Protein backbone atom coordinates (compact mmCIF):
# COMPACT_ATOMS: atom_id res chain seq x y z
CA UNK A 1 0.00 0.00 0.00
CA UNK A 2 1.14 3.55 -0.66
CA UNK A 3 1.09 5.89 2.33
CA UNK A 4 3.69 8.49 1.31
CA UNK A 5 3.64 9.76 -2.27
CA UNK A 6 6.42 12.00 -3.56
CA UNK A 7 5.19 14.13 -6.45
CA UNK A 8 7.86 15.58 -8.74
CA UNK A 9 6.27 18.55 -10.53
CA UNK A 10 7.12 21.63 -12.50
CA UNK A 11 5.06 24.59 -13.60
CA UNK A 12 3.84 23.07 -16.86
CA UNK A 13 0.86 21.28 -18.35
CA UNK A 14 2.33 17.87 -17.47
CA UNK A 15 3.07 19.13 -13.94
CA UNK A 16 -0.62 19.90 -13.51
CA UNK A 17 -1.58 16.43 -14.79
CA UNK A 18 0.86 14.74 -12.40
CA UNK A 19 -0.49 16.74 -9.48
CA UNK A 20 -4.12 15.95 -10.37
CA UNK A 21 -3.39 12.20 -10.58
CA UNK A 22 -1.39 12.24 -7.34
CA UNK A 23 -4.12 14.13 -5.50
CA UNK A 24 -6.81 11.70 -6.66
CA UNK A 25 -4.68 8.71 -5.65
CA UNK A 26 -3.82 10.21 -2.26
CA UNK A 27 -7.50 10.82 -1.55
CA UNK A 28 -8.42 7.22 -2.41
CA UNK A 29 -5.57 5.71 -0.39
CA UNK A 30 -5.63 8.23 2.47
CA UNK A 31 -1.95 8.87 1.70
CA UNK A 32 0.13 11.96 2.33
CA UNK A 33 1.87 13.96 -0.38
CA UNK A 34 5.26 15.59 -0.65
CA UNK A 35 5.27 18.07 -3.54
CA UNK A 36 8.75 18.56 -4.97
CA UNK A 37 10.01 21.11 -7.47
CA UNK A 38 13.63 20.97 -8.59
CA UNK A 39 15.51 24.00 -9.84
CA UNK A 40 17.73 22.54 -12.55
CA UNK A 41 20.72 24.75 -13.42
CA UNK A 42 20.80 23.27 -16.94
CA UNK A 43 17.16 23.95 -17.80
CA UNK A 44 16.82 26.38 -20.71
CA UNK A 45 14.48 28.63 -18.68
CA UNK A 46 17.13 29.37 -16.09
CA UNK A 47 19.91 31.97 -16.30
CA UNK A 48 23.09 31.00 -18.09
CA UNK A 49 26.52 31.37 -16.60
CA UNK A 50 27.74 34.74 -15.43
CA UNK A 51 29.52 36.87 -18.00
CA UNK A 52 33.15 37.48 -17.22
CA UNK A 53 34.99 40.76 -17.45
CA UNK A 54 38.15 40.04 -19.47
CA UNK A 55 39.92 43.40 -19.78
CA UNK A 56 42.80 42.13 -17.71
CA UNK A 57 45.02 39.11 -17.48
CA UNK A 58 42.91 37.84 -14.58
CA UNK A 59 39.19 37.61 -15.42
CA UNK A 60 36.77 38.88 -12.81
CA UNK A 61 33.02 38.86 -12.42
CA UNK A 62 31.24 42.03 -13.47
CA UNK A 63 29.05 43.24 -10.60
CA UNK A 64 26.08 44.02 -12.87
CA UNK A 65 26.22 40.51 -14.37
CA UNK A 66 26.39 38.92 -10.93
CA UNK A 67 23.51 41.07 -9.69
CA UNK A 68 21.37 40.18 -12.71
CA UNK A 69 22.16 36.48 -12.36
CA UNK A 70 21.35 36.45 -8.64
CA UNK A 71 18.13 38.42 -9.04
CA UNK A 72 17.00 36.09 -11.84
CA UNK A 73 17.61 33.04 -9.65
CA UNK A 74 15.73 34.65 -6.77
CA UNK A 75 12.78 35.31 -9.08
CA UNK A 76 12.77 31.71 -10.31
CA UNK A 77 13.00 30.37 -6.76
CA UNK A 78 10.06 32.54 -5.70
CA UNK A 79 7.97 31.49 -8.73
CA UNK A 80 8.65 27.84 -7.87
CA UNK A 81 7.54 28.29 -4.27
CA UNK A 82 4.41 30.17 -5.38
CA UNK A 83 3.20 27.44 -7.73
CA UNK A 84 4.00 24.76 -5.11
CA UNK A 85 1.93 26.74 -2.60
CA UNK A 86 -1.02 26.77 -5.04
CA UNK A 87 -0.89 22.97 -5.36
CA UNK A 88 -0.38 22.64 -1.59
CA UNK A 89 -3.48 24.74 -0.89
CA UNK A 90 -5.55 22.62 -3.31
CA UNK A 91 -4.44 19.38 -1.63
CA UNK A 92 -5.09 20.71 1.88
CA UNK A 93 -8.56 21.88 0.77
CA UNK A 94 -9.28 18.27 -0.30
CA UNK A 95 -8.21 16.97 3.11
CA UNK A 96 -4.88 15.46 2.02
CA UNK A 97 -1.91 15.80 4.36
CA UNK A 98 0.66 17.63 2.24
CA UNK A 99 4.14 19.09 2.45
CA UNK A 100 6.21 20.82 -0.19
CA UNK A 101 9.85 21.52 -0.89
CA UNK A 102 11.98 23.06 -3.60
CA UNK A 103 15.51 21.79 -4.15
CA UNK A 104 18.39 22.65 -6.45
CA UNK A 105 20.23 20.18 -8.67
CA UNK A 106 19.84 17.54 -11.34
CA UNK A 107 16.13 16.58 -11.17
CA UNK A 108 16.43 12.79 -11.41
CA UNK A 109 19.01 12.55 -8.65
CA UNK A 110 17.22 15.04 -6.42
CA UNK A 111 13.89 13.20 -6.79
CA UNK A 112 15.52 9.89 -5.80
CA UNK A 113 17.36 11.48 -2.85
CA UNK A 114 14.24 13.18 -1.50
CA UNK A 115 12.25 9.94 -1.92
CA UNK A 116 14.86 8.04 0.09
CA UNK A 117 15.16 10.68 2.83
CA UNK A 118 11.39 11.13 3.15
CA UNK A 119 10.88 7.33 2.96
CA UNK A 120 8.38 7.60 0.11
CA UNK A 121 6.39 4.51 -0.90
CA UNK A 122 5.71 5.89 -4.38
CA UNK A 123 7.16 8.53 -6.69
CA UNK A 124 4.85 10.15 -9.24
CA UNK A 125 6.45 12.07 -12.09
CA UNK A 126 5.59 13.18 -15.59
CA UNK A 127 6.91 11.77 -18.82
CA UNK A 128 7.07 14.04 -21.83
CA UNK A 129 7.56 11.25 -24.36
CA UNK A 130 11.02 12.18 -25.59
CA UNK A 131 12.58 9.48 -27.70
CA UNK A 132 15.72 8.82 -29.66
CA UNK A 133 18.15 11.67 -30.18
CA UNK A 134 15.95 14.13 -28.26
CA UNK A 135 16.11 11.92 -25.17
CA UNK A 136 19.86 11.44 -25.62
CA UNK A 137 20.63 15.17 -25.75
CA UNK A 138 17.93 16.50 -23.44
CA UNK A 139 17.95 13.61 -21.00
CA UNK A 140 15.06 11.88 -19.40
CA UNK A 141 14.26 12.54 -15.77
CA UNK A 142 11.63 9.79 -15.73
CA UNK A 143 14.09 7.26 -17.17
CA UNK A 144 16.67 8.11 -14.52
CA UNK A 145 14.11 7.88 -11.72
CA UNK A 146 12.75 4.55 -13.00
CA UNK A 147 16.24 3.07 -12.82
CA UNK A 148 17.44 4.62 -9.54
CA UNK A 149 14.38 5.10 -7.32
CA UNK A 150 14.31 3.54 -3.86
CA UNK A 151 10.57 2.78 -4.23
CA UNK A 152 7.84 2.26 -6.81
CA UNK A 153 7.47 4.83 -9.59
CA UNK A 154 4.33 5.89 -11.46
CA UNK A 155 4.82 7.98 -14.58
CA UNK A 156 2.07 10.15 -15.99
CA UNK A 157 2.31 10.43 -19.76
CA UNK A 158 2.26 13.88 -21.31
CA UNK A 159 0.94 14.64 -24.76
CA UNK A 160 2.92 13.05 -27.55
CA UNK A 161 2.76 15.05 -30.73
CA UNK A 162 2.29 12.47 -33.46
CA UNK A 163 1.51 12.76 -37.15
CA UNK A 164 -2.14 12.11 -37.83
CA UNK A 165 -2.71 8.97 -39.99
CA UNK A 166 -4.26 10.87 -42.93
CA UNK A 167 -1.34 13.34 -42.99
CA UNK A 168 1.11 10.44 -42.96
CA UNK A 169 -0.42 8.86 -46.07
CA UNK A 170 -0.44 12.25 -47.80
CA UNK A 171 3.29 12.67 -47.09
CA UNK A 172 4.05 9.16 -48.36
CA UNK A 173 2.41 9.73 -51.78
Q: Is 95 helix (H, G, I), strand (E, B) or coil?
A: coil
Q: Give tens-digit pLDDT for 51-85.
A: 444 455 555 567 777 788 788 889 989 999 999 99
Read off the pTM.
0.79
For the ranges 9-13, 57-61, 107-111, 154-158, the maximum mean pLDDT occurs at: 107-111
The CA distance from 5 to 99, in Å, is: 10
Q: How confident is the model at residue 127 (pLDDT cuts 50, 70, 90)?
A: confident
In the prediction, which pLDDT does 31 show?
98
Q: Is 148 helix (H, G, I), strand (E, B) or coil?
A: helix
Q: Which of 83, 94, 77, 76 is nearest to 33 (CA)?
A: 94
Domain that holds residue 87: 4-172
Domain count, the chain: 1
What CATH number did the domain enclosing 130 receive? Answer: 3.40.50.620
The CA distance from 102 to 91, in Å, is: 17
Share of the chain above pLDDT 70, in %: 74
Amino acid sequence: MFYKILVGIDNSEIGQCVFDEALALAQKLNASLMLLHVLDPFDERYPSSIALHTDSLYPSFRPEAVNYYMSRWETLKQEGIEFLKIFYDQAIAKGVTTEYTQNFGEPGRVICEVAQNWKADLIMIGRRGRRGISEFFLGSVSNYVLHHAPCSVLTVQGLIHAIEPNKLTTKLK
